[in-house]
Amino acid sequence: MNSVFFDHATIDVWIAEDAPLVDLTTHLLAVGGQQARMCLSIRSASVAACTEEAARIVQHCGGQVEHWLTSGTPVAADDVLLAATGHAADLLRAWKVAQNLLEYACGVAGATARMVQAVQAAAPGVAVLTTRKHAPGLRRIALKATLSGGAFPHRLGVGETVLVFPQHRALLGGWDALAERLAAVAHALAEKKCVIEAHSLDEALHAAAAGADVVQFDKATPEALRAWCPPLRQRHPHLRLLAAGGIHLGNAADYATSGVDALVTSSLHHAPPADVGVRVVPL
């Protein structure tokens, strides 16, 4: 899966962060000149993710990649994610950068796949959407990992969608002012949906009246959503409903059956890393 773009400079920055000058251990032991093979294997079932970028790390360091599993491939314990040959110095320079990338990405992809499976089993058709709430610099990796696990992005950046938070309403002066502003700029939203965050049924009704195409409930319980969704859909049948805030694998199925169209979650970005073992042997 190469749908997420990583430029060459990004790959080189990752390598330079770990090995900008000299690998002192390899130099002192004088093992860098011999030919070697490196295999990166996963130690428990998961989903492959960012293997293409791990392969590029090896290639940028001078190694030759023999094999890798495509991102999105389900993997079992001991499956080889990537195998490469080359000078030992080149493989050892790539080693930890590629391993760290795969451990994070495969951990996120595996957790995503488990949540998507749980949601689809409980409520087929309800989507799992991932947010942009993660550490700066991780967006491409987090996005590719969650896509590999079967989720979709909620919002990749503030320029992508219109999403009105209470902070925006406060600056405008309230619901009436928001409705007036959205009506005035409706022509500019011809190709966009307007999403408005709400924390109660009353706020959701205000949001729909103000011109929302989508209401995003923040930190509402599944029980509350079961009470709020039917009257909202009855009054506004074309309104789409999202649940966000506090959603994780343990409660995702409960939220999926609450009446919403999709779940918005940040928890997948913080999944435990996969355990990826690395074996380097001389040829």
pTM of the model: 0.95
Q: What is the pLDDT of residue 1?
A: 59
Terminal-residue alpha carbon distance, the chain: 31
Tokens describing residue 42? 């996963």
Please list the residue range(s) of the chain that carry CATH number 3.90.1170.20.
8-115+272-282
Please list the residue range(s) of the chain that carry CATH number 3.20.20.70.
117-270
What residue has token string 């011109």? 211
DSSP annotation of 191:
T
Q: Decide: 236 and 6 in contact? Cβ < 8 Å.
A: no
Any residues with CB less than 8 A from the CB of 187 and at least 6 apart, and which? none
Spatial strand order of the sheet with 262-265 comes to 152-153, 127-130, 262-265, 240-244, 214-218, 194-198, 162-164
Environment class of 157 (CB within 10 Å of its CB; exposed 0-12, middle 13-18, buried 19+): exposed
DSSP annotation of 282:
E
Q: Decide: 222 and 245 in contact? Cβ < 8 Å.
A: no
Q: Which helix (H) or strand (E) holds 46?
A: strand 46-47
d(CA 256, CA 121): 10
In CATH, the architecture of 8-115+272-282 is Alpha-Beta Complex (3.90)
Q: What is the pLDDT of residue 3?
A: 85
Q: Which helix (H) or strand (E) holds 70?
A: none
Q: Decide: 48 and 75 in contact? Cβ < 8 Å.
A: yes
Environment class of 28 (CB within 10 Å of its CB; exposed 0-12, middle 13-18, buried 19+): exposed
Q: What is the pLDDT of residue 203?
A: 98
* pLDDT < 70 stretches in the chain: 1-2
- Given the DSSP bridges, would you call strands 74-75 and 46-47 parallel, antiparallel or unpaired? antiparallel
The superfamily in CATH containing domain 117-270 is Aldolase class I (3.20.20.70)
d(CA 20, CA 69): 28
Q: What is the pLDDT of residue 2?
A: 64
